[in-house]
Amino acid sequence: MISVVIEQRPQMLARAAEGDAHAFAALIQPLLDPAYRLAAVMLADRSTAEDAVQEASIKAWRKLGQLRGDAGSLRSWFLSIVANECRMVRRQRWWNVVKLAEIRPTQGAGNAFDAAATDLKSALLRLSPDERLPLVLHFYLDLPLEEVARTLGVSTAAAKSRIYRTARKLRSDLTLEEVF
């Protein structure tokens, strides 16, 4: 069954490129969850992340003819559209003006794991979106280095270097928090 679906992907991609909305929906459906998780981490807001993925899906539908490669490169192509959409959202004026209220749990509700998770989340949010992107793609979405490189539009060595540098920066930021 799985091999039949894999064999049909190039055919579905060709049909989608010709304007078949059902073929496009079948191709993009498995990519929506990773795309939403990527957008949620980059934007730190669920509602805005949903909007970004929806906009990225529309752009992908419109630009499907520009996809170079096979159906296997569809995921990295779509995730790069999502990442670009997140960057555009963050550049908009309202993003810089509107400040959302931060909801904090009550003091007795947390434990040491919650505190560590909060520290990690805070440290991740202090990274720029471009620094955060390779980490999210590799460690959160569990993409191999080659696919991270395709999504970022860089070589595999450059993707590996970006992940290493950002992880080192994140590690030093977390270590500094523990000292104080």
Which of the two residues, 7 and 135, has the higher pLDDT score? 135
b/e burial code for range 54-87 (CB count within 10 A of at least 16 → b)? ebbbeebeeebeebeeebeebbbbbbbbbbebbe
Using CA atoms, how far apart are residues 136 and 103, in angstroms rounded to an integer? 23
Domain range 1-100, its CATH number among 1.10.1740.10, 1.20.1090.10, 3.40.30.10, 1.10.150.20: 1.10.1740.10
- Report yes or no: 97 and 54 within 8 Å, Cβ to Cβ: no
One fold for both 1-100 and 105-180? no
- The domain ranges of the chain are 1-100, 105-180
Confidence of residue 180 (pLDDT cuts 50, 70, 90): very low
Q: What is the mean pLDDT of the chain?
A: 80
For residue 159, the model assigns a pLDDT of 94
Q: What is the pLDDT of residues 40-69, one digit of tens each?
A: 988 888 999 999 999 999 999 998 887 776
Query: Residue 174: is its pLDDT beyond 60?
Result: yes
φ, ψ of residue 41 in degrees (nearest 5): -75, -40
Query: Residue 17: is its pLDDT beyond 70?
Result: yes
Fold of 105-180: Arc Repressor Mutant, subunit A (1.10.10)
